[in-house]
């Protein structure tokens, strides 16, 4: 993979910048940590060279100074909100985050449940955490939030929240996802700290949009595509431009809320330490782009992938038309088209040739591999086998899975499990391949190539079942699908 981002420079520069920000306050900084802390795959896709766990590794350099507070909204607990990328609920993700941080030597001080209003589900989760020895604090809904600053910054507002006891100079406030209340927790803590005579500070760590690259840079446009469902819009920071005469990029929600934050800071601290939303940030990612063209092209590809994802969601009934329209506009602004994704015309060409669903995958060396539908295998399964054969140097005419081994699986599916689709899904194909490896050396060799599929690009001419989509995701293959079903969707297709 071509590299456009210097990850080691980022780790060093970012940790140094955070240390510098801590020193500007009373050795106590609340750092609102936006985005994913250790599995930021969006950043790794648009900034080739950025590792998904870069932010976590950066924090590990500050492990002696940092403690983590994980924030979760009681409303999200109550409605079992799910992380789309992992398929787990927010409360389960809190437990996962605690485990991962602890394994990496980072100190998780506590969990804060926000927007608490007596929800039974939140009480049960709180009890569960406390039985595991995890301290839990509760913050409440505040009437008039966020505009009524006279109530918010008072004993009737932040004053009613439980004070989160922390012991280290850097308090990293993170969450399973957006809307959890990270900023409110930080500001509530500033209120309590200042009442205790501690001049604590606040800063914000958001990787995107990157403040010191152009507004319409494809990296920033890709962020808009990724947040199309939230209606986030990148914009020039007018406060920074007025204060310093310097053009920087932020996004609409931070710009819109800044006057309110200024008022809150003034009531809490006596004055606002920042002149703009950009001032609040500590992100150094823009200084670590070493090949702009590589990052631009990677970002264009990401916008195309986001476009297909939004189209698929619209067809399946979970998306909105305005999201599709917004990403179409972003494609034009980035000077990109779906044909720029090589596997798209390749898969559609194979479908036209075979008059059946087809798939295409681009290997690391740029070679395109095809998969077509047969009586035994779906196009996705055929694609995986063909890619593994190519990587292993196995003749494509050789069977790494005997047809005689596939037919009993099909019989099991149809005769005993009630499925109407006899063709093997990708997970069934890989299991059959692993069983074949016990007696067929070529099957074993093909199986060993699986790690090489990570970050390969693939496209299918029809939408896939959830089983196949998750299998591609687990393999690290970046998949897109044409927004159409092969046939009327039924539960049997997932069996």
Domain ranges of the chain: 7-212+248-288, 347-494
| Beta strands 136-140; 170-174: pairing state | unpaired
480 vs 338: CA distance, rounded Å: 11
Structure tokens at 141: 């809904």
**Residue 407: predicted pLDDT:** 85
**Residue 408: predicted pLDDT:** 87
| DSSP character at residue 162 | P
446 vs 449: CA distance, rounded Å: 5
Q: Which pLDDT band holds residue 104 (cuts at 50, 70, 90)?
A: very high
455 vs 236: CA distance, rounded Å: 33
Residue with tokens 């569960």: 128
291 vs 213: CA distance, rounded Å: 13
pTM for the structure as a whole: 0.90
**Residue 492: predicted pLDDT:** 44
Bridge partners for 82 per DSSP:
89
**DSSP structure string for 317-340:** TSS-HHHHHHHHHHHHHTT--GGG
Rounded to the nearest integer, the mean pLDDT of the chain is: 93
Q: Which pLDDT band holds residue 491 (cuts at 50, 70, 90)?
A: very low
Structure tokens at 89: 């609920």
**Residue 488: predicted pLDDT:** 54
User: CATH fold of 347-494, please?
Assistant: Cytidine Deaminase; domain 2 (3.40.140)
The helix, strand and coil proportions of the chain, stated in percent and rounded to the nearest 5, come to 50, 15, 35
**Residue 494: predicted pLDDT:** 45
439 vs 79: CA distance, rounded Å: 49
* Of 417, 430, 425, 428, the residue nearest 464 (C-alpha): 425
- How many helical (H) and strand (E) elements, i.e. helices and strands, does the chain have? 20, 14
State the sign of the Cα–Cα–Cα–Cα dihedral 39, 92, 223, 455: positive
- The residue-averaged pLDDT of 349-353 equals 97
pLDDT digits (tens, 9 = 90+) for 281-333: 999 999 999 999 999 999 999 999 999 999 999 999 999 999 999 999 999 99
Give the rounded percent of residues in the chain with a pLDDT score beyond 90: 84
Contact criterion met (CB below 8 Å) for 168 and 244: no
Contact criterion met (CB below 8 Å) for 17 and 282: yes
Bridge partners for 205 per DSSP:
33
**Residue 423: predicted pLDDT:** 86
Structure tokens at 12: 């060093």
pLDDT digits (tens, 9 = 90+) for 155-213: 999 999 999 999 999 999 999 988 899 999 999 999 999 999 999 999 999 999 999 99
**Residue 245: predicted pLDDT:** 97
200 vs 196: CA distance, rounded Å: 10
479 CB burial (10 A radius; 0-12, 13-18, 19+): buried
pLDDT digits (tens, 9 = 90+) for 134-159: 999 999 999 888 889 999 999 999 99
* Of 304, 469, 308, the residue nearest 380 (C-alpha): 469
Lowest mean pLDDT across 77-86, 201-210, 447-456? 77-86
pLDDT digits (tens, 9 = 90+) for 17-63: 999 999 999 889 999 998 778 788 999 999 999 999 999 999 999 99
227 vs 206: CA distance, rounded Å: 13
pLDDT digits (tens, 9 = 90+) for 374-419: 988 999 999 999 999 999 999 999 999 988 888 888 888 888 888 8
- The residue-averaged pLDDT of 362-377 equals 94
**Residue 233: predicted pLDDT:** 93
Superfamily for 7-212+248-288?
dip2346 domain like (3.10.630.10)
- The residue-averaged pLDDT of 465-484 equals 95
Structure tokens at 401: 């899975």
């Amino acid at each position: 993979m071509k590299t456009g981002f210097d990850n080691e420079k980022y780790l060093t520069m970012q940790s140094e910048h955070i240390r510098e920000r801590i020193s500007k306050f009373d050795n106590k900084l609340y750092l609102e940590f936006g985005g994913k802390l250790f599995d930021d795959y969006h950043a790794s896709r648009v900034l080739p060279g950025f590792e998904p766990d870069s932010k976590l590794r950066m924090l590990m350099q500050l492990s002696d100074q940092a403690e983590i507070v994980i924030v979760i909204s009681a409303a999200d607990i109550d409605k079992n909100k799910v992380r789309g990328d992992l398929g787990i609920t927010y409360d389960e993700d809190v437990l996962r985050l605690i485990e991962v941080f602890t394994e990496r030597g980072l100190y998780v001080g506590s969990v804060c449940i926000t927007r608490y209003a007596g929800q039974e589900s939140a009480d049960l989760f709180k009890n569960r955490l406390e039985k595991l020895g995890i301290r839990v604090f509760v913050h409440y809904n505040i009437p008039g939030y966020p505009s009524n600053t006279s109530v918010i910054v008072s004993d009737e507002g932040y004053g009613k929240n439980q004070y989160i006891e922390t012991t280290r100079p850097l308090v990293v406030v993170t969450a399973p996802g957006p809307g959890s209340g990270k900023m409110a927790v930080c500001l509530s803590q500033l209120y309590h700290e200042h009442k205790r005579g501690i001049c604590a500070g606040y800063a914000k760590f958001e990787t995107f949009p990157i403040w010191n690259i152009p507004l319409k840079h494809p990296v920033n446009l890709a962020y808009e595509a990724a947040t199309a469902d939230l209606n986030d819009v990148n914009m020039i920071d007018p406060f920074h431009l007025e204060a310093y005469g310097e053009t920087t990029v932020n996004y609409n929600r931070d710009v819109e809320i800044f006057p309110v934050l200024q008022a809150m800071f003034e009531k809490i601290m006596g004055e606002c330490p920042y002149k703009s939303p950009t001032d609040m940030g500590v992100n150094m990612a823009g200084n670590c782009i070493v090949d702009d063209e590589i990052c631009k092209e990677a970002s264009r590809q990401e916008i195309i992938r986001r476009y297909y994802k939004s189209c698929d969601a619209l067809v399946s009934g979970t998306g909105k038309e305005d999201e599709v329209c917004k990403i179409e506009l972003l494609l034009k602004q980035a000077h990109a088209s779906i044909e720029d994704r090589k596997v798209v015309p390749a898969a559609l060409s194979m479908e036209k040739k075979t008059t059946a669903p087809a798939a295409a995958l681009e290997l690391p060396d740029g070679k395109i591999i095809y998969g077509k539908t047969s009586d035994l295998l779906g196009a996705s399964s055929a694609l995986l086998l063909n890619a593994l054969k190519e990587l292993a140097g196995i003749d494509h005419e050789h069977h790494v899975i005997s047809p005689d081994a596939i037919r009993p699986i099909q019989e099991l599916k149809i005769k005993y499990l009630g499925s109407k689709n006899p063709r093997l899904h990708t997970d069934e194909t890989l299991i059959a391949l692993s069983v074949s490896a016990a007696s067929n050396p070529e099957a074993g060799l093909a199986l060993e190539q699986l790690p090489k599929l990570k970050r390969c690009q693939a496209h299918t001419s029809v939408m896939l079942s959830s089983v196949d989509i998750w299998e591609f995701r687990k393999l690290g293959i970046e998949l897109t699908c044409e927004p159409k079903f092969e046939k009327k969707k039924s539960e049997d297709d997932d069996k």
